[in-house]
Amino acid sequence: MTNSPVPSVPIDAVPAEFDTATAEAGAAQLLDVREDDEWQLGRAPGAIHIPMTDVPARLDELDIDAEIYVICRQGGRSIAVVQFLNEIGYEAVNVAGGMVAWQQSGRPLTGDGPEAKIY
């Protein structure tokens, strides 16, 4: 087994918004691998939500031709998902700092409650 570094990008290298409704094939995707309760509190507009443990069973929801930005709360789960996706042929990168960094940078958030927040 090799321990190759996981490709990662800082928040400022990630598109601010993703529109899954009008996305063309091969367009960049933001994959949020947090749990349902975390997702409901606050998320990036246009993100695709697939909890980490469900990713292998839901690969058909991801575009194999897209660059996939993978995000979680702070980066642990997203690193594991990036490794998995890259091993099976996807082009995936970890979003360093996760949704905590997303919120701290002032990026847009949406949520199911009156005020979207990550922490």
- What positions carry a catalytic annotation? 72
- Three-state SS at 34: coil
Round to whole Å and give the CA distance between 68 and 100.
19
Is the torsion defined by CA of 111, 14, 10, 63 positive or negative?
positive
Round to whole Å and give the CA distance between 42 and 110.
5
